Amino acid sequence: MHIPTIKARFALSDAVLSLALFAIAIGAILVMGPLGRWVARRGSATACRQATVPFALTTALLLLTPSFWLLLPLLLAFGASMAAFDVAMNAQAATVEAKAPRPVMSSLHGMYSLGGMVGAAIGGLLLGWHVPPRLHGLGMAAIIVLTTQLAAPRLLAEASTTATAAPPQRHHSHTTLWWLGGLAFLGMVGEGAMYDWTTVYMRDVTASAAATASAGYAAFSGGMALGRFAGDRLRARFGAVSLLVMSAWLGFTGILLAILWPVPAAALLGFAMMGLGMANMIPVFFVAASRLQGISAAEGIASVSRAAYVGMLLGPVMIGSVAHLTQLRLGLGVVAIAVGIVALCGRPVLARATRRPVS
């Protein structure tokens, strides 16, 4: 919401702004390994409370920093603290699901998507009312702290760790974790591309009017939110393996439709199908990583998160590079390939993670 504010405040070019945004992801990626171990030692409930302080503090300071050169290290710290909060929350979500009578992870991620949309809407209203950005930043920090304090008494303690499992079992789990991370990387290549390239595709390839070009992003985001709120019931009915495979094939069909039939209506339908298909990949991967024998839930989630962050970073760049050398339709073909690999490899990898035979 306030990216244009920061760009205007420091008179940044698009290239320098990209560097600044890149710092957030780098901060997150650099700390993912230690974060998993830290959350495992502290417990996700304690880690959520402790991660709140740096996350809220860096959120408030982003719009108060007087110098761009102070902003860059602050963005690194913001990315690291956001990652700590993210891993702790997802580890707590895995604990909640383990003790719940039915799956809940997808719905929790759906609330994350809903929160993003509501936050953007409120931010737009505040800008329209000419509320100073620094007050908005302070307000967001206050909400982070207040929400965590209200939730803290209800957070659950993890069951005893399985980190003392025998070496062969632990080796099996680490190998499986690498495979899960690889699939998460491919999934986020597709998701990151959708966030960055749908509007451009609608405008430049389908020749949509400027006023409706953003509908591509809206279609993808709407499909994502709908898919996440339906995901837990679907996982309870069909199982994680089948849900992942069906979702991946749905996303593959959707992006292929948008590529092969580049007219506005078909592209919108394809992007909505892509959102539905991508919605439950990360929740499914997080649940699988949290249940590996010999690895704590936090370490498994942190490892998958790191791979996902890298995919989110590289996806738009890969699509842009291919589009520059050829055309954007072929660039989005990279997304189709990535999602197609998830569809083909998802069943054996998840079956290995859950130690159930492939069926």
pLDDT at 89: 94
pLDDT at 328 over 60: yes
pLDDT at 201 over 70: yes
Residue 36 lies in a domain: yes
Answer yes or no: do 144 and 197 share one domain: no
Answer yes or no: do 192 and 141 share one domain: no
User: What is the domain count for the chain?
Assistant: 2
pLDDT at 164 over 60: no
Residue 27 lies in a domain: yes
Q: What is d(CA 88, CA 82) in angstroms, rounded to the nearest whole number?
A: 10
Looking at residues 226-252, what average pLDDT do you find?
95
Residue 220 lies in a domain: yes
Share of the chain above pLDDT 70, in %: 92
What is the per-residue pLDDT across 115-157, written as a single tens digit (0 to 9) for each?
877 877 787 788 788 888 889 889 999 999 999 999 999 999 8
Last-in-domain residue among 102, 128, 154:
154
pLDDT at 88: 94
**What CATH number did the domain enclosing 201 receive?**
1.20.1250.20
Contacts of 128 (CB under 8 A, 6+ apart): none
In which band, very low, low, confident or very high, does the pLDDT at 358 lie, cut at 50, 70 and 90?
very low
pLDDT at 171: 65
What is the per-residue pLDDT across 180-189, written as a single tens digit (0 to 9) for each?
999 999 999 9
pLDDT at 136: 87
Answer yes or no: do 139 and 275 share one domain: no
pLDDT at 5: 77
Answer yes or no: do 236 and 149 share one domain: no
pLDDT at 173 over 70: yes
Residue 281 lies in a domain: yes
Answer yes or no: do 146 and 229 share one domain: no
pLDDT at 106 over 60: yes
Q: What is d(CA 346, CA 180) in angstroms, rounded to the nearest whole number?
A: 9
H-helix segments, the chain: 3-9, 14-42, 44-62, 68-99, 105-128, 133-151, 167-204, 215-238, 240-260, 264-278, 281-290, 297-325, 328-354
Looking at residues 80-87, what average pLDDT do you find?
94
pLDDT at 128: 80
Name the residue with higher pLDDT: 4 or 231. Answer: 231
Are 85 and 141 within 8 A, CB to CB? no
Last-in-domain residue among 94, 123, 154:
154
In which band, very low, low, confident or very high, does the pLDDT at 102 lie, cut at 50, 70 and 90?
very high
In which band, very low, low, confident or very high, does the pLDDT at 333 lie, cut at 50, 70 and 90?
very high
In which band, very low, low, confident or very high, does the pLDDT at 293 lie, cut at 50, 70 and 90?
confident
pLDDT at 162: 46
Answer yes or no: do 277 and 332 share one domain: yes
Last-in-domain residue among 126, 154, 182:
154
In which band, very low, low, confident or very high, does the pLDDT at 160 lie, cut at 50, 70 and 90?
low
Residue 341: give the domain boundaries.
167-354
In which band, very low, low, confident or very high, does the pLDDT at 54 lie, cut at 50, 70 and 90?
very high
Name the residue with higher pLDDT: 171 or 68. Answer: 68
Are 337 and 345 within 8 A, CB to CB? no
pLDDT at 167: 55
pLDDT at 356 over 60: no
Answer yes or no: do 198 and 310 share one domain: yes
Question: Over the chain, what is the mean pLDDT?
Answer: 87
Answer yes or no: do 179 and 57 share one domain: no
Answer yes or no: do 186 and 218 share one domain: yes
In which band, very low, low, confident or very high, does the pLDDT at 301 lie, cut at 50, 70 and 90?
very high
Looking at residues 33-55, what average pLDDT do you find?
93
Q: What is d(CA 20, CA 10) in angstroms, rounded to the nearest whole number?
A: 11
Q: What is d(CA 340, CA 335) in angstroms, rounded to the nearest whole number?
A: 8
Answer yes or no: do 130 and 250 share one domain: no
pLDDT at 169: 59
Answer yes or no: do 273 and 227 share one domain: yes
